[in-house]
Amino acid sequence: MATFSVEYIDKLKDVLDGFPHEEFERLVSAMLDAYDREKRIFVMGNGGSASTASHWVCDINKGCCLDKEKKFKMLCLNDSISTMLAYANDLSYEDVFVEQLKNFFVPGDLVIGISGSGNSENVLRAIKYANDNEGKTVGLCGYSGGKLYGMVDIPILVKVNDMQKVEDIHMIVVHMTMQRILE
């Protein structure tokens, strides 16, 4: 039994050795730029990535500026179940994020898509909309990056073919951005 945990952690260490540090610093710079210019930061994902997106918003909005007068404006597009289901029912599941962006997005906003495979169509449509409307885009992805990797201004690629390890590293990115912003 202990062998499994040792192997899992060893593989995670190997993946961390290939962490994209330069892209991470670009991500933090983009988030701080959005903060300085009072732009919104939108984030979204499906499944485990949805939980990561929601967690990220909590850490940034509360954790980074609780005692500050000026606040981050970070919004999670997968947190409103009723809105998502309305768009999924009336249009398509592929449109649940892009339609929300159409309500709130303004040029210069930052849009972050999280997709382990890099191929979640609803995330891709939102990223395309942001790209087409003068937004800044970031993609957190795994495996080989999928379509998301080539669509975004700042790709954060976790190079491993294991969804749980991809999601582990994505949560590390969330916690690192919070601590890096607080420096």
Q: Give the pLDDT band (50/70/90) at residue 135.
A: very high
Residue 129 pLDDT: 98
Q: Residue 103 has which token pair?
A: 């309500």
pLDDT for the residue 68: 87
What is the structure's pLDDT at 66? Answer: 84
Quick: pLDDT tens for 90-111. 999 999 999 999 999 999 999 9
- Is the pTM higher than 0.75? yes
CA atoms within 13 A of residue 131's CA, in its CB half-sphere: 16
Distances (CA, A) of 158 to 40, 68, 84, 161: 25, 33, 28, 9
| pLDDT tens string 79-90 | 999 999 999 999
Mean of the per-residue pLDDT values of the chain: 97
Structural domains in the chain? 2-182 (3.40.50.10490)
Q: Is the confidence at residue 180, as pLDDT, over 80?
A: yes
Q: Alpha helix (H) ranges present in 37-162? A: 48-58, 81-90, 98-104, 121-132, 146-151
Q: How confident is the model at residue 2 (pLDDT cuts 50, 70, 90)?
A: confident
Residue type at position 161: N
**pLDDT (average), residues 28-53:** 98
Is 8's pLDDT higher than 80?
A: yes
pLDDT tens per residue across span 49-79: 999 999 999 999 999 988 889 999 999 999 9
What's residue 1's pLDDT?
62
